[in-house]
Amino acid sequence: MLFNSYVFIFAFLPITFLVYFVLNHLRLTVAGKTFLVFASLFFYGWWSVVYVPVILSSIGVNFLIGISLSKEQKFVWMSRKTVLILGIVFNIGLLAYFKYTNFFLENINALLGTEIPLLAIILPLGISFFTFTQIAFLVDAYKNEVKEYSLVHYMLFVTYFPHLLAGPILHHKEMMPQFANRYNWVICWRNVAMGLFLFVIGLFKKVVIADSFAIWANAGFDSAATLNFFEAWATSLSYTFQLYFDFSGYVDMAIGISLMFNIRLPINFNSPYKARDIQDFWRRWHITLSRFLRDYIYIPLGGNRVGNYRNYINLFAVFLIGGLWHGAAWTFVVWGALHGGAIVIHRIWKDLGLKMNYLLAWVITFNFINITWVFFRAKEWEDAVKVLRSMFQLHDIVLPAFLMSKLDLAGQFGICFGNIFGDIKGGVDTLIWLFAAFVITLFMKNSMEMVRAFSVKLSTLLFVVMLFVVSFFHIQKYSEFIYFQF
């Protein structure tokens, strides 16, 4: 089920909200949590019921392993550390089977010239997110940081529908105290108002802004056989902003929905395109994924407690893993490697004590991010090459037709005149949208800053109503969030 669908907005969300708080009002708190678990599973199974047994099996195995880790004694004949390792191997194995089996087979066939048939594997939605969430739970249990074990509570922690499909990646210890807090069992109308405020902002970001940029990005990457210089840059920037507003829109909607239930999810997005270096970018983009990679991969590898050379290897390895986590394709590996290389260069730059002009630092950082998103988006290697080659070839430039009479000599230099965005179905509106996106992402307050200044007043109500009405008429029959595929 999509957050940006009529059935979710007008049926699932209000019914779930009302039943949950009615059960809590009747002091049936366990029933309320159990209902929320079943509602979350229904939300998850709406796509296809075949996904539900996978997530339930994962929950069952991880819960049993977590219980065994909570005891200061050997489990059967194994030490706690061995149990933890087996638990992590189980989770990685489950993720690897569903997400990377065919990628592995394709590469074996290409390398050895074999014809091993690919498997008919259906990738369960959100598997990367609920797998990482449960790995974090096992490690926290091993460290004795998990304070209580209840199957209903654990199922709620994993399946809680606002975060289930695309994060944020949660810690057991930051969620369960909130569900156990009796003050959260009663409707808080201020939280409901702030939640609706965030939800509508997120909805507008997704269905109005992100889906508009998707038209030009999809045409440039998937449809156009060739691109001129300006089309290539419009294609890459359109995807850069599509991804920004799509993902931040999901995060806003998830945090807003959860706030209606008096549960505060961690901030997962903080104006990343304002970053002046690659480290700052990853402190702002997908914050909970960066936290997971830091706490459960980078620090166990030695973090910054090792020598510089080893530290650079660790940093590169973490980002390479992060790239592969996003998708089973060499384009994601290249994307992760480029970011790993950039973070190593940044660390060396800092170690040398070098500084850079503020504006220049931003220009370099933003353009690096924009260029590397090309690999992130491309379905095939050829698509990435097509866009990147056209972005840096100056011999294929098209200028607006109205300039032909004023720049007639330009034709001698191979410059053509016409619709500069014709092959990506764009026009003047493309430039307007790109300019507006720069203004919004660089100079306006982000949604978290807006909600911190939130107050219930007429101007706020009119703002929310206006965004919702516009969004209502832009809701499409089917428009997935980009991060669902990960």
Find tokens 């991969």 and name the residue: 297
Torsion sign, CA atoms 374, 378, 384, 386: negative
Nearest Cα residue to 127 out of 159, 95, 172: 95
CA–CA separation, 208 and 220 (whole Å):
19
CA–CA separation, 366 and 210 (whole Å):
18
Q: In angstroms, how far apart are the furthest CA atoms of the chain?
A: 85
Nearest Cα residue to 344 out of 319, 361, 362: 319
* Sequence letter at residue 383: D
Torsion sign, CA atoms 4, 10, 15, 18: positive
3-state secondary structure of 371: helix
Give, in degrees to the nearest 5, the angle at Cα 256 between 46 and 134. 60
CA–CA separation, 401 and 37 (whole Å):
59
Extract long-range pairs of 269-274: CB within 8 Å, 24+ residues apart: 269/446, 269/448, 270/446, 270/448, 271/441, 271/446, 272/244, 272/369, 273/244, 273/366, 273/369, 273/441, 273/442, 274/362, 274/441, 274/442
Q: Where are the extended beta strands (E) located within 363-466?
A: 398-400, 416-418
CA–CA separation, 310 and 304 (whole Å):
9
Which residues carry out catalysis?
A: 326
